[in-house]
Amino acid sequence: MKAFVVTTYGPDGLRAADLPDPKVGPNDVLVKISAASINPLDKMVRNGEFKQLIKYKRPFVLGHDLSGVVTGVGPAVRGFAVGDEIYARPRDLRIGTFAEYIAINQDDVAHKPASLSLEEAAAVPLVALAAWQSLVELAKVQPGQRVLVHAGAGGLGSTVIQVAKYLGAYVATTAHTDDVARAQELGADEVIDFTQTDFATVLSGFDVVLDSLGSASLEKSLTVLKPHGLAISVVGPPDPSFAEQLGQPVLRPVMKLLSRKIRKQARKLGVRYSFFFMRADGAHLRKLAELYDGGHLRPVLDSRTFPFDQTPEALAYVEQGKARGKVVITMSGAEQR
Asked if residue 249 has a cis previous peptide bond (ω within 30° of 0), the answer is no
pLDDT (0 to 100) of residue 333? 44
**Alpha-carbon 30 to chain mean position:** 22
Q: Which residues contact 14 (CB under 8 A, 6 or more apart)?
A: 4, 5, 6, 7, 46, 62, 311, 312, 315
Q: Which domains does the chain have, with CATH numbers?
A: 2-124+299-330 (3.90.180.10), 127-275 (3.40.50.720)
Low-confidence ranges of the chain (pLDDT < 50): 333-337
3-state secondary structure of 257: helix
pLDDT (0 to 100) of residue 334? 41
Pairing of strands 65-73, 85-88: antiparallel
Which stretch of DSSP H or E encloses residue 208?
strand 206-211
pLDDT (0 to 100) of residue 335? 40
pTM: 0.94
User: Cβ distance 327 to 316 under 8 Å?
Assistant: no
pLDDT (0 to 100) of residue 336? 39
